[in-house]
Structure 1
Amino acid sequence: MRAWERTLPELSKTARCLAVDLPGYGKSSKGHFPGTMDFYAEVIHHFIQKLRLKKVTLVGHSMGGQIAVTLALKYPADVHKLVLTSPAGFETFTEPEKQQLRSFYTVSSMVSTPAAQVRLNHKYNCYRMPAEVDLWIAERLRMMQCDDFAQYAQTVVNSMAGMLDGPIFDRLAQVQQPTLVVFGAEDFLIPNRTLHPQLTTAQVAAAGVAQLPHAQQAVLPEAGHFAHYEKAAEFNSMVAAFVK
């Protein structure tokens, strides 16, 4: 939920805004969750149905973007519009590349991550790391001392596998909802710099947008993977106009 702290106050002026921690993350229950895109799409579907939400604009960041597309395809009546910010799923991977990524993300490596690496990992998400991210880092370091941190780590590992096993690129042409796609021009995580050094963020963004029948695109300069947080004013303005 913290990722939307610069978004909710502004967008709540003109719309009802709800931010969620998915099962296994944040303040939501920890446990043995499959982490697939279909699983999380079902969770959000039930959330929408339970609260009887109408004309939903689903805003998904990173893995949330891939989940949002999965939900829009599976339950099109749930989703009126889509906002995808730095979405996973636009970049595609070969089977050997998928295996390489799976071997990189393990529970043991997450549990034993040094504090300096935790800070560096957060820095990779930003072009210029906002001071508030220090709070996120402190929270993460406290989380690592909790008894259920290994369960959280397993959820992250399962989610990584879920993204790789639930590709959406070849299905983007089936998305009928109006879609706003936002990337940070300096996204360090998309594309994967190790596996795809020849690709740029702009190329990945353009490839995905080209598949979407009803899409508009924005690339925010001097912003990284958390473009909606680093450039909140610009992002909020675009989303408000898009929703209206």
Structure 2
Amino acid sequence: MNTKAQDAFMELDYPYPMDKKEVVKNINIAYADIGKGEPILFIHGMGSYAPAWKKNISELKENFRCVVVDLPGYGKSSKGKFKANMSFHKEHLFALMDSLDIKKFHIAGHSMGAQIAMHMALDNPGRIKSLILSAPAGIETFSEQQKAMFRAITPEQTASVSDEQYRINLEANFHEMPDDAEFMYEDRMMIKESPDFMNYCYTITEGIRGMVNEPVFEKLGDLKPPVLIIYGKQDKLIPNKYLHPEMTTADIAKIANKEIPDSQMELIENAGHFVHFEQPEKTNELIKNFIN
């Protein structure tokens, strides 16, 4: 583990001050605890971090207690060769909420973060008041051959992506990448110089394996809390356009709505995979109405 050489990660400019808690031995989770009211835990997606929720927190903090995290291996949290699968993150997030003395809470999860949120609700439904799933992973299913392709991705491959290709990959997360999302690219340029960058890439590949090794689709019918499902209508990442070219994002959203018992589904126009960032006003309105 290399928890001290986080130079570039620690220098990232965040929209809110981050505290840290050692929730499990030698692993610190960076988090912000903002606002008052019903508590909502915000979980970012793969390769992302807490600032991805900034447009949502800035408004929702007026009505809710917003706990926004950097998952272990990401952002300002501890780095290391963690087995960063769904169970790993679930354990650490429950430990964080215990340390904050928050027994029951809502969860807003994006992409991989939404799959983690579903695991948390399946594991301990009595603690989860509702789920807000933004562009959730875990609904689209894959064959064993396709899963093997994801498992074969290495940290070295993740690290070797060129700057030009990273920009293409980042822009694919949006319907039309807004100017105020440029900080995501700039932050990537900073962290790639960190001694911990390979640990970060290791965490990403473990997350990929975790998503395919710990699927939730067959358990969607067991989800107990009310669920709000949000997809951007122009999501370019879900479904996977290479593996499922015949499917649309609307198809995936309808499957989620059908399989999850107490759920409502919203497709937001002019939004891609980062639907909550690209269309924050609509997303925030949906979250407030849903919880209230």
TM bin, normalised by shorter chain, reads over 0.9
| TM-score, normalization by structure 1 | 0.97
For the residue of structure 2 that corresponds to 1:142, the secondary structure is helix
Instruction: State how many pairs are aligned.
Output: 243
TM-fit CA distance, 1:101: 2.1
TM-fit CA distance, 1:190: 0.3
Distance in 1 between the 2:241 and 2:150 partners? 12
Answer whether contact 1:11 1:236 (CA < 8 A) is retained: yes
TM-fit CA distance, 1:54: 4.2
TM-fit CA distance, 1:12: 0.6
TM-fit CA distance, 1:76: 1.2
TM-fit CA distance, 1:208: 1.5
Amino acid at match of 2:162: P
Gaps of at least 5 residues in structure 2 are 1-49
TM-fit CA distance, 1:52: 1.4
For the residue of structure 2 that corresponds to 1:80, the secondary structure is strand
Please, which of 178, 184, 187 is the counterpart of residue 136 of structure 1?
184
The match for 2:145 is: 96
- In terms of fraction of residues, the more helix-rich structure is 1
Once the two structures are superposed, residues 17-71 of structure 1 have per-residue CA deviations (whole angstroms, 9 ceiling, x without a partner) of 1110000011111012111111111111111211111441100000000000000
The match for 1:72 is: 121
The match for 2:235 is: 187
Distance in 1 between the 2:66 and 2:268 partners? 23
Answer whether contact 1:82 1:177 (CA < 8 A) is retained: yes
Deviating 4+ runs (over 2 angstroms): none
Distance in 2 between the 1:19 and 1:130 partners? 22
Supply the RMSD in Å over aligned alpha carbons.
Answer: 0.9
1:202 aligns with 2:255: no
Percent of matched pairs sharing the same residue: 37
Please, which of 147, 158, 166 is the counterpart of residue 195 of structure 2?
147
Answer whether contact 1:45 1:78 (CA < 8 A) is retained: no
The match for 2:172 is: 124
Answer whether contact 2:229 2:256 (CA < 8 A) is retained: no
Ranked by relative contact order (alpha carbons within 8 Å, sequence separation 6 or more), the top structure is 1
- In terms of fraction of residues, the more strand-rich structure is 2
Amino acid at match of 1:115: D
Moved more, 35-44 or 166-175: 35-44
Amino acid at match of 1:222: N
